[in-house]
Homo-oligomer: A and B are copies of this chain.
Amino acid sequence: MKAYESLEEHFAEFYRLQEIMSVLRWDYATTMPAGAAKARSEQFATLKSLIHERVVDPKVGGWLEEIGDGEGLDEWQRANAREIRHLWTHTSSVPSELVRKRSRMETRCEMVWRTAKEDDDFDRLAPHLQQLLEVTREIATIKAEALGVDPYDALLGWYDPGMTAEKVDAVFDDLAGFLPGFLEEVLDKQARLPEPANPEGPFELERQEALARRLMEAWTFDFDHGRLDTSLHPFCGGYPEDVRITTCYKEGDFLRSTMAVLHETGHALYSRGLPKQWRTQPVGRARGMSVHESQSLFVEMQVGRSQSFVHWAAPLYREAFGGSDEAWSEANIHQLKTRVQRSLIRVDADEVTYPLHVILRYRLERELLGGDLEVEDLPQAWDESMEQLVGIRPQNDREGCMQDIHWVSGIFGYFPTYTLGALMAAQLFEAMSQEISDVEEAIEEGNFGVLREWLRENIHRRGCLKSTDALLREVTGSDLDAKYFKEHLKKRYLDEQ
């Protein structure tokens, strides 16, 4: 089928350009001297426009039409055509002029945000956020029409194809009903225990890095196809042949850098495990941001903060830094890794409160986009939600509604994926435990290859062959359900079996 072959060839080039983009991004975050920022932003713009041209190329629409329902194609090819159609509809439905307009507004709004946040001056940010919101609404409406979905679902579906507000509501309402009360219980229980002690630093950065590499190796990270470096914020970049993760070391805290490394290693294993023969095609990419996050949280949260993991890791920590006192004990390290606190800042939040931060943002962004909340009323709405959900009230907007970069850089519909990923991670861990009887033993022995293999077989190597729903049902026997996550929390934080 010639049309299909043309599509594949076309998208192979598209992904090579994406790969190049990811090298430039990695370089920007880890390596580039500051003075090159302007040149780099011009390179980004050039590359971005070449990539965009390829997706919206009218030829793609023609080929897709010719392919129709994909008769004569095999399962993977049909799925590939479906993914291309999704990408193409999402992208080509929006007039280029509008894309450029949003891009300019994003740059401007993010720039204003940086100083407005520093000065705690929401009023300065508000008009820019308002404009960005309007153009986002306009784009969401156009996409919604082309895709035959609701506008918010069009935004959500860009990051997590197939996800809808209806599905999100179902699990988030469940969690929002459960977590505040659960949080009280956990805090009560913690209050009855002695405070965990912090191991005493400083912790040499070279040793932190060596420890990080040790953890990555235990997870079978392939250094022949990947790297570990440092950047201001940890991330996982690159592509399957060259997966590059970063972390950020602080002399006073080695747990933070190593937990970040575990998180990014989860992303990296996913990327590296994607189906090799489809690497330059949409069907061979990650299933979506929720599934991606499920992989990082699987490694960081499900495994990395478990009792079994600490049993294996605590001796490594002691060895890495020559620690020996009580603060280095398995029990204390586990207590540190599972400490729960009401906090204002999402990125610092623990496993229990994190979903509340996400639910707050999800609800507010839907109200903003739906016109039920005005930008000027955002700070108050934020503070009230925070008090209601997390039980703590920000004293300023810097630690309130201005803390995140997402909205001010035009990213709406992304926040839910963090918590959807957490739910999936719990659901997957439960399914794995059903299939592999000695998971905890494997973890205690640091034998993560077994877990990695299960994830690779069940998730990674399937790329986008199935929808997220179908994948979850096949692998876990159930639709996305918050109960696995809730059970996981109860077991970990209240010792309930």
Chain A interface (Cβ within 8 Å of chain B)?
A: 13, 16-17, 19-20, 23-24, 27, 31-36, 38-40, 42-43, 46-47, 50, 222-227, 239, 241-242
User: Given A24-B23, A242-B35, A242-B39, A46 and B13 touching (CB < 8 A)?
Assistant: yes
User: Given A20-B24, A23-B27, A239 and B39 touching (CB < 8 A)?
Assistant: yes
Q: B39, B225, B242: which contacts A19 (Cβ < 8 A)?
A: B39
Shortest Cβ distance from residue A62 to the other chain B in the assembled complex, whole angstroms: 22
Asked whether A35 lies within 8 Å of B227 as measured between CB atoms, the reply is no
**Which B residues lie within 8 Å of A13 (CB)?**
46
Asked whether A20 lies within 8 Å of B20 as measured between CB atoms, the reply is yes
Q: B19, B46, B50, B224: which contacts A43 (Cβ < 8 A)?
A: B19
Asked whether B39 lies within 8 Å of A17 as measured between CB atoms, the reply is no
**Which B residues lie within 8 Å of A31 (CB)?**
31, 227
Interchain CA distance A444-B142 in the complex, whole Å: 69
Closest chain B residue, CB of each to CB of A42: B16
**Which B residues lie within 8 Å of A16 (CB)?**
42-43, 46
Shortest Cβ distance from residue A478 to the other chain B in the assembled complex, whole angstroms: 37
Asked whether A33 lies within 8 Å of B239 as measured between CB atoms, the reply is no
Q: Which 10 A-B pairs have the closest CB atoms?
A: A36-B242, A35-B225, A39-B241, A35-B224, A16-B46, A36-B241, A20-B43, A16-B43, A16-B42, A33-B224
28 A-B pairs with CB atoms under 8 Å apart are A16-B42, A16-B43, A16-B46, A17-B46, A19-B39, A19-B43, A20-B20, A20-B24, A20-B43, A23-B23, A23-B27, A23-B43, A27-B27, A33-B225, A33-B226, A33-B227, A33-B242, A35-B222, A35-B224, A35-B241, A35-B242, A36-B225, A36-B241, A36-B242, A39-B241, A39-B242, A40-B242, A50-B50
Interchain CA distance A28-B36 in the complex, whole Å: 19
**Which B residues lie within 8 Å of A23 (CB)?**
23-24, 27, 43
Shortest Cβ distance from residue A176 to the other chain B in the assembled complex, whole angstroms: 43
Shortest Cβ distance from residue A204 to the other chain B in the assembled complex, whole angstroms: 15
**Which B residues lie within 8 Å of A50 (CB)?**
50
**Which B residues lie within 8 Å of A42 (CB)?**
16
Interchain CA distance A20-B13 in the complex, whole Å: 16
Closest chain B residue, CB of each to CB of A19: B43
**Which B residues lie within 8 Å of A34 (CB)?**
224
A27, A33, A34, A224 pick with most chain B CB within 10 angstroms: A33
**Which B residues lie within 8 Å of A38 (CB)?**
241
Interchain CA distance A224-B39 in the complex, whole Å: 13
Assuming A23-B24, A35-B222, what are 4 further A-B pairs, CB within 8 angstroms?
Answer: A33-B224, A33-B226, A34-B224, A39-B239
**Which B residues lie within 8 Å of A39 (CB)?**
19, 239, 241-242
Interchain CA distance A225-B39 in the complex, whole Å: 11
Interchain CA distance A228-B4 in the complex, whole Å: 46
**Which B residues lie within 8 Å of A36 (CB)?**
225, 241-242
**Which B residues lie within 8 Å of A43 (CB)?**
16, 19-20, 23
Closest chain B residue, CB of each to CB of A223: B33
